[in-house]
Structure 1
C-alpha cells in the first residue's frame, strides 16, 4: 500500500475514542496557564512557531500547566467522543522538550453525566515515564467500557496531543427494533481495515459523522498511471447485518471524483483477518454493480441492492479508476 499517511500500531487497528471529530471534549483541568486543555484533542498534528509568544509566555500547541512548587501533580478530565474499550494511548509530547512531564498515569470511569468530586476513578494505566518530544505509545490492558478518562501528569508540564485508541461500544438500545443502522459509521463501530491507496487523505474520513467539510475531509487516492483497474477500500461493519440502503457522497470532489463505483460484501468469522495477501481470495458477493458517479453529490441506492437477505460483516468499495469519496453510508438490519 503506497501512501503518505502514517499509522502507528494503535491507529492502524483502533479508533481514537477521544477525537474531537467524534465529540471528544476536555472538560476540566487543574491548570492550563500556558496552553489550553482543548488543544489536547485537536485532530491536526501539533506545530511549533518559534517566535510566537502570548502575554503569559511562549505559545505552545498543546496543554501546558505552570511550574508546580509543591508535591502535587496536574490533571485533565476528558469526555470520550464515543464509549469504548481502551486498548492504547498516544501521549504526544511533540515540541515539549524542556517542559514535558516526567511521567503520566490515566484513570477512567463510566458515567451518564460528567464526573464530579464524588466520582470513583479506576486506574487503567499506572504511572509511567514518558519521553519529551515523542509519541509515547502506551498499552492498556482492560476490557471494560469507559466514557471518561483523567490524564495525570507528574509533576507538571505540557502534552501536545492525547489519542485514546480503542473499540467503540455502540448503544444498540438507542435504535428501534427493525430500524436500519449505518453499520459502516465510526460511531457504530465501523472500522476501515485497508485500502489500495490513500495518498491525499486517510480512509477513516470516509466513515466520519456528518458530511465532509472540504476536499481534504474524505478518502482520496492519487492519480493512477497504469496497473490495476480501480482503487478499493475494505471496511469492517460495526455488527453483522443485512444491507438495506447505501449512500456514496462525493461532496467537494468536483474535478477528481471517481467515474463509477461498485460495492461488494462478505461474511467472515471473527478470527479471520483481512490482509493484502488474502483480500482478493475472499468470497465477495455483489451488493451494487458498477454505477456512474457525479461530482459533489449524495448518491443514494436502495432498489439497486443485491443479496439483501445475506448477513455480512465486511464490505469492499471499489472506485473506477481513482479519485475521492467524501462519505460512505451502509444502512443495515442487524443480525
Structure 2
C-alpha cells in the first residue's frame, strides 16, 4: 500500500480563497473589514519570516494587517500597553503576539492581557475552556487545520478511533477536544504511555505532535490509517553537505507511507494550514464581535 498524500499546501490555498470571499461579503453587506494585529519582539530571523508571511497573507485576502516590531529590550510594560491599546481598537479583531518573547517579558502576562475576544491564537484560559466545552470562538490554529484536513479526507469522523500523541496545551489537548466534538473515540498518548506502539496500532487516525524526529514507525500503524504529522524537526543532513539540515516530522514518513491509507508530508502538510487558520479565526472573531454567525466552513 502506498499512502495518499494529504496536500496541506493546496488545501490552505483553497481555504484562503474562501476566506477572501467571506471578507468581501463582510465588507459589502456589513461594512466590516476584519483586522489582524501582529506583535513581534526582537529580531529572530525565523520569527521575522513567519510574521512577514502572516502580514502578506492577511493583506492578500483583503483584511487589514497591522504589524508592530518592537526592540529586543523593550520594557514589558510597553508591550502590555500596546496590547491594551489594540484591545480597545474597533478596527482590530485579532491580536497575535509572536512567541517566544525575550526572557525579561512574562509570557503569562502577555497571554492574560489579550482580550479573549481577539485572541486568535487561542492562548487565553477563557478560549481554552471554550474549545473544551464547544462554545463559539477561535480554535488553536494547528489543531483546527489538522481537523479540516481530516474532515476533507475522511468526511464523517464519528466512531473512528483516534490517537493523539502529545499532550501540549497548544496542540495535543485541543486536538483531542476537537476530535471528541466530532464524535471520534479519542486516546491521548504521551511519553509515559505503556506500549505506545500497541496503542497506536488500534487507531484509525493518528495525530503525532510530540516533537521527536521520526518517532512514529511503520509497525505502529494500522493498515489504512490516516496519519496527521504535526511535528517539524530540523535534523542534520550530511548527504546534502557539511552543516546542512533538513526538515522531518514526528513520523517516519517513508516507512509509514507504505502502510497508512493517507499521510501529511513534512513540509507541506499541516504547516501551511497554520497561517490560513489564523486568518480564518480573525474572520470568526470579527463576525462574533458584530453579532454575525461565523462561516461554518472556517470553524470547528
| Higher normalized strand content (fraction of residues) | 1
Task: Considering Cα pairs closer than 8 Å and 6+ residues apart, tell me whether 1 or 2 has the greater RCO.
Answer: 2
Larger radius of gyration: 1
| Higher normalized helix content (fraction of residues) | 2
TM-score by length of 1: 0.23
TM-score by length of 2: 0.25
